[in-house]
Amino acid sequence: MLGMSKSSRADRPGRTGYRPRYWAQAKTENPLARFVPFSSLVSPHDVITRGGDYFRVWRLDGVPFESTDDHVIAERHEAMCSLLRNLAGGQWAVWTHRLHRVVSDALQDPTEPGFARDLSRTYQAKLGERRMMSNEIYLTLVYRPNVSRVSRALQSTQRSREAIAEAQADALRNMEERSALVTRVLRAFGPRLLGVREQRGRPYSEVAELLGYLVNGCWRPIPLKAGPLYRTLPTTRLSFGADKVELRQGDMQRYAALVDIKEYADAVQPGILNALLYEDSEFIETQSFSILPRREAMRALELQRDQLIASDDVVASQIAEMDVALNELGDGQFCMGEYHYSLVVFGESVADAGRRAAQAIGAIGEASSLQMTPVDLVGDAAWFAQMPGNWQWRPRDAKLSSRAFAALSSGHNFASGKRNGNPWGEALALLHTPSGQPFYLNLHSSPEGEDSADKKLPGNTLIIGSTGVGKTTLEMFLLALTRKWNPAPRLVLFDLDRGCEIGIRALGGRYFALEAGKPTGCNPLQRDPTPARIQFWEQLIRTCIATPAMPLLPADERAIADAVKAVAMMPAPLRRFSTVRQNLPKSGENSLFERLGRWCRGGALGWVFDEADDRLLDLHAASIIGFDTTEFLELPEVRTPVMMYRLQVMEELVNGERLIYVFSEFWKALD
């Protein structure tokens, strides 16, 4: 209940002696809009500030540093350095943001009742109990048409509408030219220019949504509409106290602690701040780099050298390094700029925010020689300096080289996979990673941002791991999830040690276990004869008969071809290796007749192809098929012919429909 202050006169409606309890405080409160520098959107991509500056924003996929070679990381660093060098001149600045946010997601389950659907639902329920973090990287390019006081004074004088329009068009042309540079130089970072997105037929501004997050500390959809952004964006009440801030918006209440860099390292390498990416906390990391004109940069570096010379603990090598840096700066090998850093760490309470901020400070301290410290006096300024173009609120700035900024703001990220637009639909599986970031696993490699539906793209997947870590479990888990795709792909597995048998049978598949010395149920000659199959039968017979000690002669190959063609004309029950043998020449101890005898009924290897009818005739009707290859893989003489037949059957299943074939311990099959 609101309290009222009471005047000395009687209580009557409308009297000015009565005020709400907190009227005096409300009159002295600073509206958040005063600190928001954004004026309006002048295009779907561009924002003009209240000071007449322009900027646009890109979202970067970043560099997956965990799985990228060192030389590639160095190349990406050089690309960022090149961009900054090409922005020299004093009119350009860069703001970068890393947003570490809690996310939740779930993929589709198989629609058919059964083991696959039950497994998927159980897995996703367990996954939903774990906290997942996304890591979003944004780069903002700021153009300052009027940097000097004189130009700003001239800009502020009254101008005609035509002059204003001409100046704006010129600024946007400059921005467009530099945007092409950003897209080209940073193409390896996967830049995407923020603009307009549609949701339920209504346009929303991606730029305004990001800016709204920087202003309010919470994400909300913002429709694309005209109007001053400094009025429409603020929706949160911010209350600052030392290095903490309380954020209130409706029923939402959260807290944050603010951190910046106290002492810089003598040298920095790309990824020096990567330790933050493994933290289980939401945060906003902001870095800005306002590029100085070369003459001003030279003066700043000369001042640093003079201060170094005047210090008591100067080392000759340090002075020499400063001289080298001055020469390189003069040659344009790098540029200098004003740099500022802030880290806003969120928590559920004041204590939680402080604890998480201390963890972040500790993580950086362990991984680098940077010294981080809470922003204990001007926390509000640090919050407002997150917003691109808010130069006046930077709590602590430093003069840094472009190479140092490119290392501090390296654009490193984690691989995230591709959720939608894959050749067979949405991602196969959503995985939780050590960093907490979700990873969308696919069996195809398709370009990010492209709808690759039904495209025939590479789909090779390799699972590697030491014994007992769960390779087979992962294999069957992924194969079970393939049942969600429509149409579901046919699965053909060459198994080892019957490791997949339970899973295949649970999915309703057929499983064939081959035992040495017992009829395999493989009789390739009983399949309907076609020119391709007859040619394969000839090749199979030649493989069984030929040995390094007794290679086949051209006459032998002709005799085999004639025998196979003769058998191909017989009814299926008569088409066997034994029948082929009866049609081969019998002259001599090493005749083709005698050499094929080992592979016929009664021979040492008759169990392989000749002692049972073929069980693979109707495989075209089966959607999931498994073969255990354990025992015959240990028999080199048997392994090659059996694998030839299995692969030939599998190739016949390739008819344009979706197909996955799997080899367990495939190196043995290739030996």
Per-residue H/E/C for 74-111:
HHHHHHHHHHHHCCCCCCEEEEEEEEEEEECCCCCCCC
Beta bridge partners of 49: 38
Whether 154 is in a domain gets the answer: yes
Contact (Cβ atoms closer than 8 angstroms) between residue 210 and residue 138:
yes
Q: What is the mean pLDDT of residues 50-64?
A: 95
| Amino acid code (one letter) for 84 | L
Whether 85 is in a domain gets the answer: yes
DSSP 422: B
Read off φ and ψ for residue 495, nearest 5 degrees. -95, 165
pLDDT tens by residue, 488-518: 999 989 888 888 999 999 999 999 888 888 8
pLDDT value for 374: 93
Whether 435 is in a domain gets the answer: no
Whether 223 is in a domain gets the answer: yes
Q: Count Cβ atoms below 10 Å from residue 460 Cβ, excluding itself.
A: 7
Spatial distance between the Cα atoms of 609 and 393, rounded to a whole number of angstroms:
82
pLDDT value for 366: 92
pLDDT level of residue 18 (50, 70, 90 thresholds):
confident
H/E stretch holding 150 reads: helix 149-156
Whether 161 is in a domain gets the answer: yes
Q: What is the mean pLDDT of residues 309-323?
A: 73
Q: What is the mean pLDDT of residues 442-470?
A: 88
pLDDT value for 5: 44
Spatial distance between the Cα atoms of 345 and 363, rounded to a whole number of angstroms:
13
Q: Which two tokens stand for residue 651?
A: 């190739």
Query: What range defines the domain where residue 200 resides?
Result: 32-110+133-236+284-292+335-344+379-413
Whether 505 is in a domain gets the answer: no
Contacts of 356 (CB under 8 A, 6+ apart): 257, 279, 281, 345, 346, 347
Contact (Cβ atoms closer than 8 angstroms) between residue 228 and residue 258:
no
pLDDT tens by residue, 152-203: 555 555 567 888 888 888 999 999 999 999 999 999 999 999 999 999 889 9
Torsion of CA 625, 626, 629, 631, to 10 degrees: -120
pLDDT value for 350: 95
Contact (Cβ atoms closer than 8 angstroms) between residue 208 and residue 222:
yes
Contact (Cβ atoms closer than 8 angstroms) between residue 514 and residue 626:
no
Mean pLDDT of the chain: 88
Contacts of 652 (CB under 8 A, 6+ apart): 620
Contact (Cβ atoms closer than 8 angstroms) between residue 409 and residue 289:
yes
Instruction: Average the pLDDT over each of 111-120, 173-182, 244-253, 324-333 and give the range with the smallest value.
Output: 324-333
- Provide the percentage of residues in the chain whose pLDDT is more than 70: 94
- Provide the percentage of residues in the chain whose pLDDT is more than 90: 57
pLDDT over 80 at 3, yes or no:
no
- Strand pairing category for 63-64 and 412-413: parallel
Whether 217 is in a domain gets the answer: yes
Torsion of CA 397, 401, 403, 405, to 10 degrees: 10
Report helix, strand or coil for 245: strand
pLDDT over 70 at 44, yes or no:
yes
Whether 588 is in a domain gets the answer: no
pLDDT level of residue 15 (50, 70, 90 thresholds):
low
**DSSP assignment string, 517-582:** TS--S--GGGSPP-HHHHHHHHHHHHHHH--SSSPPPHHHHHHHHHHHHHHHTS-GGG-SHHHHHH
DSSP 417: B
pLDDT over 60 at 11, yes or no:
no
Spatial distance between the Cα atoms of 411 and 391, rounded to a whole number of angstroms:
22
Token pair 């037949």 is found at 645
Spatial distance between the Cα atoms of 272 and 276, rounded to a whole number of angstroms:
10
pLDDT tens by residue, 588-621: 778 999 999 999 998 999 999 888 888 877 777 7
pLDDT value for 664: 85
Q: Count Cβ atoms below 10 Å from residue 462 Cβ, excluding itself.
A: 5
Q: What's the total number of domains in the chain?
A: 1
